Amino acid sequence: MLVNISEDSPAADRLALQIVQMREQGPLVRDSPKGDVIEATTSDGRLWADLPFLVSDMAQYWVQDHAAMSSPQRLRFAKFLAKLASAGVGGDDGLCTSIALRAFRQALEMPRPLGTLADQDQVEDASRSEADLSVAALLPSVNVWFSWAGLKLIQLCEAEKAHPPGPATQGKYGPGPLVGSAGTAESVDDRGPVGFSIRRWLFWLTRLENLAGSFREAGEDALAAFATGTMDNMLITVEGTGGRLRRELAAAYLRGEVQHRPISI
């Protein structure tokens, strides 16, 4: 099982490569009785070009099981998904809009206890729910998305890429209550709730700044350093781009809304 593969094993990378290779084979075709060549399709797309059901299955697995996983298992799964997303796997960037966006919402936009470093070593617990997780338990998954799929996330924020509209979309993917309390909540229009956006990315950055300070005040210096490192991953990636997010970040510095700057910038 993927989540039980050792962190040092190349098996997860091989699996990710095999999935990309499968997609690059193009659609599976066969001859019809009339002599035409037709593509093999499913209700979720073509085999194998569209990798049908990959996004929906991975999203369902994440939503239902990530809270019960141990922290190492959750981290390995998030890293695997981020690597796939960075390679463009998942129709219409579904891995990001269905999984990464929800992970950021739960870790950075919802009120929850700070937690301690020990929360990152938790064992599997089938009775544990998402509401039981602390910020400390969720931060590694956030960091791994910024580390492995940071450029993809920036592109989605600049494009204001949203999760497909639906009855439960706002409650699962729309800005959480902490975003609204900061005065940066996105509006809901005819296209459904906004998902990724520049304003939301900037909120995640300022939230991490606040978390680093809170961890430091609580005596959790290692977690404060981890939150700072996550900000570094965000900022170093955006510094290498020339898009709107970089310009908005520069403006946020001038307004005093963002203070942290990684040493390398």
pLDDT of residue 174: 86
pLDDT value at residue 171? 62
* Residue 59, in any domain of the structure: yes
Instruction: Give a yes or no: residue 220 inside a domain.
Output: yes
For residue 82, give its domain range. Answer: 38-255
Structural domain includes residue 32? no
The residue assigned the tokens 């509006």 is 187
pLDDT at site 40: 85
Rounded Cα gap, residues 127 and 110, in angstroms: 21
DSSP 8-state secondary structure symbol assigned to residue 35? S
Q: Looking at residue 10, what is its pLDDT?
A: 83
Q: Supply the pLDDT for residue 98.
A: 93
Report the C-alpha gap between 121 and 125 in whole angstroms.
Answer: 12
Residue 184 counted as domain residue: yes
In a domain, 149, yes or no: yes
Q: Residues 27, 49: contact at Cβ < 8 Å? A: yes
- Tell me the torsion sign for CA atoms 211, 212, 217, 218: positive
Query: CA-to-CA distance for 95 and 52, rounded, in angstroms?
Result: 13
Q: Would residue 17 count as lying in a domain?
A: no
Would you state the pLDDT for residue 150?
97
* pLDDT tens, the chain, 265 aa long: 566 776 667 888 898 889 999 889 888 888 777 778 888 889 988 888 888 899 999 999 999 999 999 999 999 999 999 999 999 998 889 999 999 999 999 999 999 999 999 998 889 999 999 999 999 999 999 999 999 999 999 999 999 998 776 555 556 788 899 987 654 544 433 333 469 999 999 999 999 999 999 999 999 999 999 999 999 999 999 999 999 999 999 999 999 999 999 876 5
Q: Is the peptide bond before 48 cis (omega within 30 degrees of 0)?
A: yes
**Has residue 28 been placed in a domain?**
no
In terms of Cβ atoms closer than 10 Å to its own Cβ (0-12, 13-18, 19+), residue 15 is middle
**86 assigned to some structural domain:** yes
Determine the pLDDT at residue 230: 97
Handedness of CA 171, 174, 177, 181 (dihedral sign): negative
Q: Which pair of tokens denotes residue 133?
A: 């997780």
**Number of separate domains in the chain:** 1
| DSSP assignment letter at 240 | T
- Cβ atoms of 100 and 89 within 8 Å: the answer is no
How many CB atoms neighbour CB 8 within 10 A? 6
| Residue 78, both tokens | 């998030």
